[in-house]
Amino acid sequence: MSSNSFVKFDKVDKSYDGDVLVVKDLNVDIPKGEFLTMLGPSGSGKTTTLMMLAGFETPTSGEIYLDGDAISSIPPYKRGIGMVFQNYALFPHMTVNENLSFPLEVRKLNKSEIQDKVKKALSMVELQDFGNRMPMQLSGGQQQRVALARALVFEPRLVLMDEPLGALDKKLREQMQYEIKHIHENIGITVVYVTHDQSEALTMSNRIAVFNDGKIQQISTPDILYEKPECAFVAQFIGENNQLKGKVKSINGNSCVIKTEKGEEIKSLKVNVKAVGEGSTVSLRPERVEINSPDTNFENTFDGTVKELIYLGDHIRTRVEVCGNDQFIVKVPNSYKGANLKTGTSVKLSWKASDSRALDLG
């Protein structure tokens, strides 16, 4: 077992019916103090993975380790793990102080120690004046902060969070993302977080594990996942992304040429391409494309037609038809001579070969 591993999934499978695997051959090492987010669509296996770590589900095969100890046969309450759920799960008949005291009383701490820890946990989430309130007297955001404080109050080795901000409105959700991120940075606890919201994952995490169909497609830091996706699923799931489909015409070291159905030849990085003649998807971020650029240093320049312009403040989201794709998006900065762009006009689109990534068909 890796010495860098605080949490380890070793060849973990999970099936509910003995037939279909909802988690397949999962191998992950999570170092102490990391904020790891499991990101993916519904049914991708991320919540099942979290529930196995919590102890509410048991692996069909394989083993999960926590700080070097195999834990698959240890009941949830003996794992010393804090949990935060989407629905807060606060006791409605108890005050905030009583909600936070409960996990400490179960652990048989003395009264003054309980008071100290409750006070510390409430100040961590900036609710030190709310101890005598009932949960129903609090807003959704305050209730979620109490739930977070309760998960932290007994100083667990690990905190698991399952879509904890899903019930909050957009502004409050974004505010809570930063609060949880800052609490994590301040106390250095290990966090495993589940969400289907990619911007939430990018904001909060040290690393993100992207799940699809019961498997981790790629696990890396937010910037690497965004800039260097290794498969078409990750490219599509993380951030906005253009896809141009074609066949591999030639391969030269780390570069290749993808020929579209209409005959355009796109020079690209060879990332996940096997052989000449095979189908491929070229992945390209909208902000990497330039419209009508005077610069001639681009390996790729194609004619396109503007289909739609949407003003979004700092940029104009420009939908263009190019290389047979009429859903191709370019983010044109607002400072650019955007006034010249009109629906129906012909434009030249340019981008570097190093910004286009030839991937599997996805």
- Return the SS3 of 65: strand
pTM: predicted TM-score of the whole model, two decimal places: 0.89
Q: How far apart are CA 263 and CA 77, in angstroms?
A: 62
Q: Which two tokens stand for residue 20?
A: 């279909």
pLDDT of 1 reads 45
Q: How far apart are CA 189 and CA 83, in angstroms?
A: 13
Backbone angles phi, psi at 78, to 5 degrees: -100, 5
In terms of Cβ atoms closer than 10 Å to its own Cβ (0-12, 13-18, 19+), residue 247 is middle
Q: Is 155 left (phi over 0), alpha (psi -120 to 50) or beta?
A: left
Q: Please tell me the CATH superfamily of domain 7-232, with its number.
A: P-loop containing nucleotide triphosphate hydrolases (3.40.50.300)
pLDDT of 339 reads 53
Number of H helices, E strands in the chain: 8, 20
In terms of Cβ atoms closer than 10 Å to its own Cβ (0-12, 13-18, 19+), residue 285 is buried
Q: How many residues does the chain have?
A: 362
Question: Can you give the three-state secondary structure of 267-285, one letter per residue?
Answer: EEEECCCCCCCCEEEEEEC
Distances in whole angstroms, Cα of residue 82 to Cα of each of 53, 76, 78, 157, 280: 11, 10, 11, 8, 44
Domain residue ranges in the chain:
7-232, 240-359
The neighbouring-strand residues paired with 291 are 349
Residues 6+ apart with CB under 8 A from 335: none
pLDDT of 289 reads 95
Closest CA to 310 of 320, 318, 321: 318
pLDDT of 46 reads 95
Cβ–Cβ under 8 Å, residues 256 and 354: no
| CATH pick for 240-359 out of 3.40.50.2000, 2.40.50.100, 3.30.450.20, 3.40.50.720 | 2.40.50.100
Closest CA to 282 of 338, 244, 250, 325: 244
Stretches in the chain below the pLDDT threshold 50: 1
Cβ–Cβ under 8 Å, residues 133 and 100: no
Q: How far apart are CA 229 and CA 37, in angstroms?
A: 16
**Alpha-helix residue ranges (DSSP H) falling in 87-169:** 96-106, 111-124, 140-152
Inter-residue long-range contacts of 227-232, CB under 8 Å, 24+ positions, other chains counted = 227/285, 228/271, 228/357, 229/271, 229/283, 229/357, 229/359, 230/271, 230/272, 230/359, 231/272, 231/359, 231/360, 231/362, 232/272, 232/281, 232/283, 232/359, 232/360, 232/361, 232/362
Residue type, 111: K
Distances in whole angstroms, Cα of residue 6 to Cα of each of 2, 14, 27, 190, 196: 9, 21, 13, 9, 24
The sheet that has 158-162: what strands, in order across it? 81-85, 158-162, 190-195, 35-39, 207-212, 215-220
Helix (H) or strand (E) holding 315: strand 315-322
